[in-house]
Amino acid sequence: MKRKECVKVVVRARPLQNKEIEEGRKRIVEVDTTRKEIIIQNIKGDGNEALRTFVFDEVFDMNSQQEQVYHNTALPIVESVMDGYNGTVFAYGQTGTGKTHTMEGKNDPPHERGITPRTFDHIIKVIEGTPNIQFLVRCSFLELYNEEVRDLLSPNHLTKLELREKPEQGVFVKDLSKIVVKSVAELNEWLKAGRANRKVGETKMNQESSRSHSIFTLTIESSEFGADQQQHIKSGKLNLVDLAGSERQSKTQAVGVRFEEAININLSLTTLGNVITSLVDGKSQHIPYRDSKLTRLLQDSLGGNTKTVMVANIGPADYNFDETMSTLRYASRAKKIQNNPKINEDPKDTMIREFQEQINKLKDELARKAGGVIGPNGQIQKIKEQVIEVEDEDELTELQQKAQKEKADLEQQIMQQRRQSTLQEEEKKQLQLKLKEKQKLEHNLKKEQDNMQKKLQELQEQLLHGDKMKEESRQKEKDLLKARMELEERSQQARRQAEELAKKEAMQMEQEQKYNSTKEEIEAKTQKLNNLIQKIKELKSQSQEQTQFRQRQKEELIEDNRESLRQLNLMNLIIEHFIPEDEEKRLKEKLEFSEEQDDWVIKEYEANPLKKPASAFFFRRAICNFSKMAINFGDANPRYRPENILQTDLDLPQRMTEDFSHEPSQKIQEVLNVALNEDEEEQLMIQNEKQANVYIEDPSIINKEAILNPPSNPNKVRLQSAIKKNARRPQSGFKK
């Protein structure tokens, strides 16, 4: 029977920021680490409930350190993953509350490192202290940006990936990069590379706000020989999830792209909240995992085969009261989610099994080509000849006679070869050619063996082994961690028992309580009644707060929906006025709805293979009509005459002018005459329109100097040449 296990929920409160201190914000959150309680002042209540208290598995106050958070939250999950379980650690909360700081932190100084880099150190440390087990570690890093899955470790990290689902594998991302790693340095490098590709933006509440959800996954496969001398493989998967924070547009002042990002973030987080509510509510028959890609990716972590820890981050300032209360409510509900974790033993699709099969195959191939066998240390051992010792003298004499006879025959052959003259030249060349071919064959064989040996070494290096020297310290650390977890479990159990015992004692005292007088009994029962009335008021206040919160959520979703509709109407308007109907119809025919991706995709194009045209009658190959016509006109070689299969006519632009059919005025006609006149002298015409035109019949009477150097008289006279009968245009009054 599978053992059910509740989701572990821890809450971390960050300190007040400098900006909040400068604005005079008040801290309304108190953390009781002893009783594991979060106490928040109800600043929006009606006075019936001044304080609200929430109890969790672990709480961290404003002075908590990164190492403390890691050891109390993620370390037990990491140890379970090394044993073959699936594990998930995810940070949840409002934007700007320290989720990324909790999950990743800073590398400098070292004590500021978060859960993810500390997990890297611990995994490699465990492997180094386990010498009898082979390990294979792979990592992947993805983000969910605007409901699009992207691979942060791929060179094309902007490419949209697809979500797929298989019964034996669950939900997975198709074509997601999975990198084999061998050290802490490699893991940190891949984390740094993926972080650089992640979407980050600035809002009013956070200068480096994560605009996407990210999941860093570590797959750890182990192989060891059991007591039955059979190889046993385990596979554990650890998801380190950094969720983008929920945000309100009124506080973040997000516009444009940032506003669209906020809409998608809030929708996915709302779906996550609905999934948590449905899992907790026993009446729900449908869990809305498929309403968001985030919940599909976390489907196994919420109610599935995974050990899960939820780190809820909250802000202590008074103006974040609504968001803090929302986070605490969701966290309180998540405690009731039950998972069914189990060890993944001997899975079929492990890569470590493939590596071991390839290693054994390469060893056998190398041994076959080298004429030997593979030794226990992986080196090739040649097969040596054995020398047989013979003790019988008759057999020894017979062997000696046989050897002498072979020696004589060999000497005779040598003598015959010496008697022969030198070999012919062609025989020498043939022998040299055979020798070169043999040397080339041996060189290629050696090169092939070196390549196989190199590949074998690379495969063996990717499988990690422990060190005997570190085995003892690893065992001590494991025993210490086990004892600490058992102690913590016992303390929690003792606390629960003490609370239950206190309740039972209180009830028993109430039942056995005796009163000295009727007045005392009335006062005691009146006090009980007042306490019950107070509790009823508190419950009503809580119910009213939840109703108001849901109403605000509903209004925000309605506003987001209105914004989406405005964007949709804008797109429809653009399509209606700027895209032709034929083109719109052609695009619609190419689209189809994919149930797997939950989106519209372009249909796969089924290309019809082009068939080669049949040969023409009486011709060796197919020819075009143009070539046939050329043959009819006597062209002997029309083979390279192509047909004009392209339409080369230019698309002339639409005419934007029209012809002028009326008589032009005198002023327009003069301008046209000047514009059409080829002589430069016409540009010297006087611009005074009020003076009368003077026509000169004899140009010789004009004084050229007076025209070129006119007197300073404001009254100027326009000169216009006489129009000759045979002249095409008016002529100037003088010639240069």
Annotated binding site for ATP: 93-100
Q: Which two tokens stand for residue 437?
A: 């071919």
List the binding residues: 93-100
Q: CA 80, CA 87: separation in Å to the nearest integer?
A: 7
Distance of CA 12 to CAs 234, 240, 329, 497, Å? 33, 17, 14, 26
Q: How far is CA 465 from the centre of its chain?
A: 31
- The values of phi and psi at residue 631, to 5°, are -65, -40
DSSP string, 575-611: HHHHS-HHHHHHHHHHEEEETTTTEEEEPPP-PPPPP
d(CA 215, CA 56): 25
- Which pair of structure tokens corresponds to residue 504? 């039972």
CA distance 590 to 581: 14
637 by DSSP, 3-state: which? coil
Under 8 Å between Cβ of 8 and 310: yes
Q: Coil, helix or strand for 44? A: coil
Please check whether residue 253 is in contact with residue 233, taking contact to mean a CB–CB distance below 8 angstroms: no
β-pairing verdict for 209-210 and 213-225: unpaired
Token match 């987001």: residue?
A: 560
* Tokens read off for 52: 């609200």
CA–CA dist 84, 276 (Å, integer): 26
- Alpha-carbon distance of 491 to 640, in angstroms, equals 94
Rounded to whole angstroms, how far apart are CA atoms 162 and 150?
A: 9
According to DSSP, the β-strands at 718-721 and 693-696 are parallel
- Helices marked H in 239-350: 249-252, 257-280, 293-297, 321-334
Between the two ends of the chain, the Cα-to-Cα distance in Å is: 119
Strand partners, 311: 10, 91
CB 170 within 8 A of CB 209: no
For residue 160, give both structure tokens: 């949209």
Q: Where are the beta strands (DSSP E) in 649-697?
A: 693-696
CA distance 203 to 609: 54
Asked if residue 109 has a cis previous peptide bond (ω within 30° of 0), the answer is: yes
